[in-house]
Amino acid sequence: MIRPTLAMKTACLCGIVVTSISGFGVTHSHAVAPRASGWTLIYDHQALGKYEDFAFPDSTNGWLISASGFILHTSDGGKNWATQTTGLLGLRSIDFIDKNRGFAGALTGKFYATTDGGVTWNDITSTLPHAAKGFCGITHIGDEVHVVGRYNGAATDYFYSPDGGRTWRYSDLSNLMQGLVEVQFLNKDVGFIGGMGTSAAMGQSAAAILKTTDGGKSWRKVFEHVGGRGFAWKIFPINSKLIYASLQSQDGIYRIAKTLDAGEHWDTLTVTTGRPLGPGVQGIGFLDANTGWVGGFFQGMWATTDGGKSWTEVQIPDGTINRFEHVGGKMYTAGSRGILRFEGR
């Protein structure tokens, strides 16, 4: 996956085949949706829930997964998409090390690998050193793969592979977190995990972020929000110092977190207030240091052009956005209806 970050979010493969699921290959071209605030719906394809995650190991090949179990693929940088695989229910995360080797994780606890660019996916769950409750986040640096999840059920599993998925190590982070959602690495040493912390006010644990500086051997908490129950849902690095994170809360206030010093100190910024109670912000993405968007369990997006100081509501023909991706100079996202691309300021 290509973002304006120092990390490439993708993964590798394991050599044990348990289940093989064949793909399809139905090619679809550009959709014909109107342009709205610079965003265009380029592929109108209902997710039957929502789309969860992108993986772009290079500027040409990309994958997008849905919670309902199908995977879309592009081989031309996002111009056209094909339904490649179906039947992998509960998918939440995907990552590719290169155009052939990739991983996908499900909330059900299933973990899949491919060595042929997603044509077939093999269930490798039994090869992991610990039985996981589910997977929410995957990333990689070179052949080093990091996997976390899930967000609920006291699932604080962290898996690490130093060799592209041939072998795995396991750590339990329950001393620091209650649930794990997102993992991002800036380089082989410095990385972050987002999720729900252990501290509780009125019985409601809040969004928290962990940091490692030794490649995941040890973690420490560098941020915990005090606004009630919530999660640090997505982490979006711009460079080695500037990093944004989306904060999912339940109180009708949409928020993000921002750091200027590689995650040592974070500021909490308000996007908007007075929204309906319940889960709000999920996805966050920035085109540059100042221009960015958040999406989530609502129609449309919210946009900023001043690094999160102020926000404007954006009307688009979609909602329920979980992930943004920066690919080949363009910003992509996907809601419940299909794939959107930002084509202008």
Query: How confident is the model over 124-171, as pLDDT tens digits?
Result: 999 999 999 999 999 999 999 999 998 988 889 999 999 999 999 999
Q: Residue 295: inside a domain, yes or no?
A: yes
Q: Report the C-alpha gap between 263 and 242 in whole angstroms.
A: 8
pLDDT at position 226 over 60: yes
Which residue range forms the structural domain that includes residue 260? 20-342
Q: Residue 80: inside a domain, yes or no?
A: yes
Closest C-alpha to 19, from 83, 87, 96:
87
Q: Residue 5: inside a domain, yes or no?
A: no
Q: Residue 3: inside a domain, yes or no?
A: no
Contact 147, 105 (CB under 8 A): yes
The mean-pLDDT minimum among 21-35, 58-72, 93-107, 283-297 falls in 21-35
SS3 content of the chain, % helix, strand, coil (to 5): 0, 50, 50
Count: domains in the chain: 1
Q: Residue 8: inside a domain, yes or no?
A: no
The CATH number of whichever domain residue 200 belongs to comes to: 2.130.10.10
**Token digits for 63?**
């994958």
Q: Residue 313: inside a domain, yes or no?
A: yes
In eight-state DSSP terms, residue 119 is S
Closest C-alpha to 191, from 14, 1, 8, 51:
8
Q: Residue 144: inside a domain, yes or no?
A: yes
Q: Report the C-alpha gap between 230 and 232 in whole angstroms.
A: 7
Look at residue 10 in the predicted model and tell me its pLDDT.
36
Range 283-303 average pLDDT: 96
Q: Residue 88: inside a domain, yes or no?
A: yes
